[in-house]
Amino acid sequence: MPRIEMIEGADDGAIAAWFAQRLRATLAMSPEIAVTVPGGSTPFPIFDRLAKEALPWPRISVWPGDDRIVEEDHPASNVGKIRARLEPAGACIVPLAQDAQPPRFAIAWLGMGGDGHVASLFPNTDPRANDPQAVRRLTPDPLPPEAPFDRLSLTIPSLVNSDEIVFVIRGTDKRAVFDAAAKGENDLPVARLLKAARHKVTCFC
């Protein structure tokens, strides 16, 4: 289990500033980097603030950690909403594809559902730390009513193939699930990912 730094009470602006600082530090050592970011409602206000940061965006490739299998202009598309916010700043947005070969990520930014899922690795999909595939097509069960679509998701090996992992988690119920996973008290997808990680994990909660 990696060392986990818990940062409590940070607002969207503080998280965006932290993320920008980490990107600057990494870009000082590498001409180009890739990051993976989550969908859902939590990250988009942070993306709006992050896009205003003076970063060399053309040197940054942004991959969604997962996406609903819909057209980019569909309201449920993660990549479409990521593109709308970060592509005007100059970032290169990389849509997920089932045959994609993700790079090593400088930062893997993740959210977590109340059921312990990360990306679209829901409990029913039985995600494995030794999954031979980099990207999987998955069907959550039950299908979330707000987004009843099949998904493409980076697998645990793709997500932990990163220099650091960052979670942004809102709410006391989710915090309790994450804390239990960090202690090895459950076998939810988030617990499996944390167990597989071998580097620093930061959790904004």
Find, among 24, 33, 90, the residue nearest to 61 by Cα. 33
> pLDDT 10s per residue in the chain (205 long)?
678 999 999 999 999 999 999 999 999 999 999 999 998 888 999 999 999 999 999 999 999 999 999 999 999 999 999 999 999 999 999 999 999 999 999 999 999 999 999 999 999 999 999 999 999 999 988 888 888 899 999 999 999 999 999 999 999 999 999 999 999 999 999 999 999 998 889 999 9
Sheet containing strand 33-37, strands side by side = 4-7, 201-204, 165-168, 107-110, 33-37, 60-64, 92-93
d(CA 61, CA 36): 8
Strand locations in 155-200 (E): 165-168
CATH level 3 topology of 4-204 = Rossmann fold (3.40.50)
Full-model pTM = 0.94
Find, among 52, 51, 83, 48, the residue nearest to 67 by Cα. 83
Q: Is 83 helix (H, G, I), strand (E, B) or coil?
A: helix
Q: What confidence score (pLDDT) does residue 146 get?
A: 80
d(CA 104, CA 185): 29
* Segment 68-107, tens digit of pLDDT: 999 999 999 999 999 999 999 999 999 999 999 999 999 9
Contacts with 104 (C-beta within 8 Å, 6 or more apart), sequence order: 34, 161, 162, 163
